[in-house]
Amino acid sequence: MNMKLIILDRDGVINADSDLFIKSPAEWLPLPGSLEAIARLNQAGYRVVVATNQSGVGRGLFDMTTLNAIHDKMHKSAALVGARIDAVFFCPHTSDSHCHCRKPKSGMFEEIAARYNIELDGVPAVGDSLRDLQAGVALGTSPYLVLTGKGEKTFAAGKLPEGTQVFANLSAVVAELLKV
């Protein structure tokens, strides 16, 4: 089984982030070059999976229908540039619900490993916050920090998992992964 998989955070990696949450399809705006980068991964044989905390659902800021509409827009926007996101895993819970799926806990990554029946050792996991990286490192993923979204703040705070590679944005990560 030699599946090439990459796990991406959503807000701040694929699309612009907001401290007020992305609460509607209109607020979901792709970062420049991010969807094209996903298309390049697809062309190189990667399955692209998203793992995203969406506590806005648990906080009552938006409902599941709206979250599905946001993801529908993401999938359609990706398709317009020839990109495909294989699956979206999300945690709808708030930080005080103590669930196992909310990053930095590794539940979503365990679900991904189970769904694709693979070990996550060495699988690239791209995020803009420390918890994105911590969630995957627990299962052996290779951490990639992008400086988009909360990335610059995360980088400045330090304490990154060992072996974290830092890039300007998703396009730069993809250029590095595909240069082999």
121 is catalytic: no
Angle at 164 between CA 176 and CA 22, to 5 degrees: 85
- Choosing from 11, 17, 128, 132, the catalytic residue is 11
Half-sphere exposure for 130 (CA within 13 Å, toward CB): 10
CB distance 20 to 54 below 8 Å: no
Q: What is the largest CA-CA distance in the chain?
A: 45
128 is catalytic: no
pTM, to two decimals: 0.97
For residue 74, which phi and psi values (nearest 5 degrees)? Answer: -60, -45
Q: Which domains does the chain have, with CATH numbers?
A: 4-168 (3.40.50.1000)
Q: Cβ neighbours of residue 95 under 8 Å, at least 6 residues apart?
A: 55, 102
Estimate the crossing angle of helix 130-137 against helix 107-116, to 10 degrees. 50
- The per-residue pLDDT string of the chain (180 residues; one tens digit each, 9 = 90 and over) reads 478 999 999 999 999 999 899 999 999 999 999 999 999 999 999 999 999 999 999 999 999 999 999 999 999 999 999 999 999 999 999 989 999 999 999 999 999 999 999 999 999 999 999 999 999 999 999 999 999 999 999 999 999 999 999 999 999 999 999 996
